[in-house]
Structure 1
Amino acid sequence: MKTLYLECNMGAAGDMLTAALLELHPDPAGFVRRLNALGLPKVEFRSAPAVKCGITGTQMAVLVDGAEEGRAQGHHHGGHGHHGMHDIAHIVSHLDLPKPVRDDVLAVYGLIAEAESQVHGKPVTEIHFHEVGALDAVADVTAVCLLMHELAPGRILASPVHVGSGQVRCAHGVLPVPAPATALLLRGIPTYGGEVRGELCTPTGAALLRHFVQSFGAQPVMCVEKIGYGFGKKDFERANCVRAMLGETDGGQECVIELCCNLDDMTPEAVGFAMERLLEAGALDVYTVPVGMKKNRPGVLLTCMCRAGQREEMIRLLFLHTTTLGLRETVCRRYTLARSMDVAESPFGQIRIKRASGWGVAREKAEYEDLARIAREQNVSLQQVQRAVFAPGRLEGGGDKS
Structure 2
Amino acid sequence: MRTLYLECRSGISGDMTVGALLDLGADQKQLEKELNSLKIEGYALKFGRTKKAGIDAFDFDVLLEHPEHPDQHHEHAHAHSHHGAGHEHHHSDGKHGHSHEHEHHHHGHVHRNLGDVLEIIESGEMSEAAKETAKQIFHIIAESEAKAHGLPVEEVHFHEVGAVDSIIDICGAAICLEQLKVDRVIASPLSEGQGSVRCAHGLMPVPVPAVVNIAAARQVPMELTEVEGELVTPTGIAILSAVCDEFTVPKRMNIKKIGYGAGNKDLPDRANVLRAYLLEESDRQDSDEVVLLETNIDDQTGEQLAYACGLLRDSGALDVWLEPIYMKKNRPAYKLCVLVKEEAQQSAVKLIFQNTTAIGIRKSNLERAIMQREIIEVDTSYGLVQVKCCKYGEILKQYVEFESAKQAAEIYHVTIEQVIQETLKKICQ
Q: TM-score, normalised by structure 1?
A: 0.60
C-alpha distance in structure 2 between counterparts of 1:51 and 1:227, whole Å: 15
Tell me if the contact between 1:35 and 1:45 (Cα under 8 Å) persists in the aligned partners: no
- What is aligned with 2:37? 38
Whether 1:52 and 2:43 are equivalent positions in the alignment is no
| Seq. identity, % | 36
- What is aligned with 2:176? 147
Whether 1:243 and 2:275 are equivalent positions in the alignment is yes
Q: How does 1:237-316 map to 2 (within 5 A)?
A: 237=268, 238-251=270-283
Tell me if the contact between 2:23 and 2:259 (Cα under 8 Å) persists in the aligned partners: yes
**Secondary structure in 2 matching 1:193:** strand
- What is aligned with 1:24? 24
Q: Which has the larger radius of gyration?
A: 2
- What is aligned with 2:393? none
- Does the C-alpha gap of structure 1 residues 172 and 93 become closer, same or farther in structure 2, counting only changes over 3 Å? farther
Deviation at 1:193, TM superposition (A): 0.7
- What is aligned with 1:70? 74
Tell me if the contact between 1:36 and 1:45 (Cα under 8 Å) persists in the aligned partners: no
- Does the C-alpha gap of structure 1 residues 20 and 33 become closer, same or farther in structure 2, counting only changes over 3 Å? same
Whether 1:156 and 2:156 are equivalent positions in the alignment is no
**Secondary structure in 2 matching 1:17:** helix
Tell me if the contact between 1:164 and 1:178 (Cα under 8 Å) persists in the aligned partners: yes
Structure 2 gaps of 5+ residues are 80-88, 90-100, 290-429
Tell me if the contact between 1:20 and 1:243 (Cα under 8 Å) persists in the aligned partners: yes
Tell me if the contact between 2:77 and 2:164 (Cα under 8 Å) persists in the aligned partners: no
Deviation at 1:26, TM superposition (A): 5.2
**Secondary structure in 2 matching 1:46:** strand
Q: How does 1:56-205 map to 2 (within 5 A)?
A: 56-65=56-65, 69-72=73-76, 74-75=78-79, 76=89, 77-78=101-102, 79=107, 80-170=109-199, 173-187=202-216, 188-205=219-236
C-alpha distance in structure 1 between counterparts of 2:167 and 2:203, whole Å: 25
Deviations 1:160-214 (A, max 9, x none): 1001111123456421111011011112221111111110000000101100111
Deviation at 1:65, TM superposition (A): 2.9
Deviation at 1:100, TM superposition (A): 1.4
Deviation at 1:148, TM superposition (A): 0.8
C-alpha distance in structure 1 between counterparts of 2:183 and 2:198, whole Å: 39
C-alpha distance in structure 1 between counterparts of 2:237 and 2:284, whole Å: 23
**Aligned residue type for 2:21:** L
Tell me if the contact between 2:122 and 2:131 (Cα under 8 Å) persists in the aligned partners: yes
Tell me if the contact between 1:32 and 1:47 (Cα under 8 Å) persists in the aligned partners: no
- Does the C-alpha gap of structure 1 residues 145 and 99 become closer, same or farther in structure 2, counting only changes over 3 Å? same
Deviations 1:29-84 (A, max 9, x none): x2343244323411322211111111101111112336563322524354322111
Deviations 1:329-366 (A, max 9, x none): xxxxxxxxxxxxxxxxxxxxxxxxxxxxxxxxxxxxxx
- What is aligned with 1:206? 237
C-alpha distance in structure 2 between counterparts of 1:172 and 1:142, whole Å: 33
Equivalent in 233, 244, 252 of residue 221 of structure 1:
252
C-alpha distance in structure 2 between counterparts of 1:127 and 1:34, whole Å: 30
C-alpha distance in structure 1 between counterparts of 2:26 and 2:133, whole Å: 22
**Secondary structure in 1 matching 2:274:** strand
Deviation at 1:156, TM superposition (A): 0.5
Aligned residues: 259
Equivalent in 220, 245, 262 of residue 231 of structure 1:
262
C-alpha distance in structure 1 between counterparts of 2:141 and 2:200, whole Å: 17
Tell me if the contact between 2:11 and 2:192 (Cα under 8 Å) persists in the aligned partners: yes
C-alpha distance in structure 1 between counterparts of 2:190 and 2:150, whole Å: 26
Q: TM-score, normalised by structure 2?
A: 0.56
**Secondary structure in 1 matching 2:212:** helix
Question: How big is the alpha-carbon RMSD for the aligned residues of Structure 1 and Structure 2?
Answer: 2.7
C-alpha distance in structure 1 between counterparts of 2:154 and 2:187, whole Å: 32
- Does the C-alpha gap of structure 1 residues 27 and 95 become closer, same or farther in structure 2, counting only changes over 3 Å? closer
Greater Cα offset, 125-134 or 57-66? 57-66
Deviation at 1:223, TM superposition (A): 1.1
C-alpha distance in structure 2 between counterparts of 1:148 and 1:26, whole Å: 8
Tell me if the contact between 2:49 and 2:57 (Cα under 8 Å) persists in the aligned partners: yes
